Amino acid sequence: MGTMVGRCASLLFGGLLLSVAGCGGSEEMGGPASCSAALPGATVPTVCIDLVGGTTQDIVNNREQCAKQGNTFALELCNHAGAVGGCRESHGSVAITTWYYPDATQSDIKMLCESAARFASNGIKIEFVLP
């Protein structure tokens, strides 16, 4: 595989970690993909993270990380039915969106996104989004 160009991004919310090493590089593009976590017995996820962009190696790495944490990995975006809102982290052609479900309110999620945005590295945009 070729060399990766640009800064790398990672996002840690709700105990899930998705990382992207190929931010804006010349690698073959991967995704979309998602990783979701639910409390035992829950019918909807507690949190689900969408990954759009990145490289095929990013997808492989995130599949492994998601499974190691006991969560559910899929080669598709999260089911947004029932989602209250999310925080989208964007860097170049990569977007990682952490979706939150009914245990959170829109105002809580918006405040979380705004707090994370204050600490984001240069070139990384974090914003509140609705499903």
Q: Is residue 8 included in any domain, yes or no? A: no
Q: Is residue 14 included in any domain, yes or no? A: no
Cβ proximity of 113 and 126 under 8 Å: yes
Q: Is residue 47 included in any domain, yes or no? A: yes
Q: Is residue 3 included in any domain, yes or no? A: no
Average pLDDT (39-67) is 90
Does this model's pTM top 0.85? My answer is no
Q: Is residue 96 included in any domain, yes or no? A: yes
Please give the radius of gyration of the chain, using alpha carbons only, rounded to the nearest integer.
14
The total number of structural domains in the chain stands at 1
Whole domain around residue 84: which residue ranges?
A: 28-129
Q: Tens digit of pLDDT for each residue in 4-43?
A: 222 222 333 333 444 544 444 445 677 799 999 988 888 7
Q: Is residue 21 included in any domain, yes or no? A: no
Specify the pLDDT at position 1: 26
Q: What distance in Å separates the CA atoms of residue 128 and residue 21, rounded to the nearest whole number?
A: 23
Q: Is residue 108 included in any domain, yes or no? A: yes
Q: Is residue 17 included in any domain, yes or no? A: no
Give 2's pLDDT tier (boundaries 50, 70, 90): very low
Q: Tens digit of pLDDT for each residue in 72-131?
A: 999 999 999 999 999 999 998 899 999 999 878 999 999 999 999 999 999 999 999 999
Cβ proximity of 33 and 75 under 8 Å: yes
Q: What distance in Å separates the CA atoms of residue 117 and residue 56, rounded to the nearest whole number?
A: 27
Residue 52 sits at φ, ψ, to 5 deg, of -125, 125
Residue 25's CB is within 10 A of a number of other CB atoms, namely 23
